[in-house]
């Protein structure tokens, strides 16, 4: 496991607006912080809610938790869209990787955002 979250995409949360669902992520591109919002399916909305409500560390006060896509994932079934991704959970000086269910499409989106090489594209998703 990496000691640093440098270069990782942070999973900030998910939102529901009317009948649409969105993921909020944070990443650094060319030394600039971006908070981005993109559309997702309802199942991923619920999965992300599950991820960001996960609080594995005991007795560490009221410090905020952070959740980072480690870049590691595994397809759960060769023909279905189910996957498991590794998320680095951090609070203060504690961190550990855990595995969560999410769609293969969501993981593909995170990988795509990581590979974007044009600021104009990121600006289209900026919150």
pLDDT digits (tens, 9 = 90+) for 64-113: 999 999 999 998 776 677 899 999 999 988 999 999 999 999 999 999 99
**Can you tell me which residue has the tokens 């999973």?**
11
Q: Per residue in 35-59, pLDDT tens?
A: 999 999 999 999 999 999 999 987 6
pLDDT of residue 82: 86
pTM over the 0.95 mark:
no
Which of 18, 23, 19 has its CA nearest to residue 36? 23
80-111 b/e with 16+ CB inside 10 Å = b?
ebebebbbbbbbeeebeeeebebbbebbebbe
Closest CA to 43 of 83, 77, 76, 90: 83
What is the predicted pLDDT for the residue at 1?
44
Residue 19 φ/ψ region, left for φ over 0, alpha for ψ in the -120 to 50 degree band, beta for the rest: alpha
Taking the mean position of all CA atoms in its chain, how far away is CA 21?
15
The predicted structure's pLDDT at residue 3: 66
Domain boundaries, the chain: 9-125
pLDDT at 60 over 70: no
């Amino acid at each position: 496991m990496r000691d640093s979250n440098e270069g990782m995409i942070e999973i900030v949360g998910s939102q529901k607006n009317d009948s649409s669902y969105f993921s909020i992520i944070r990443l650094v591109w060319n030394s600039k912080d971006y908070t981005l919002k993109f559309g997702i399916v309802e199942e991923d909305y619920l999965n992300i809610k599950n991820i960001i409500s996960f609080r594995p560390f005991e007795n560490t006060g009221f410090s905020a938790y952070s959740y980072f896509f480690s870049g590691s994932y595994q397809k759960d079934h060769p023909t279905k869209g189910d996957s498991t991704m590794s998320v680095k959970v951090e609070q203060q000086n504690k961190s550990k990787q855990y595995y969560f269910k999410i769609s293969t499409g969501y993981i593909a989106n995170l990988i795509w955002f990581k590979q974007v090489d044009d600021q104009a594209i990121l600006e289209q998703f900026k919150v």
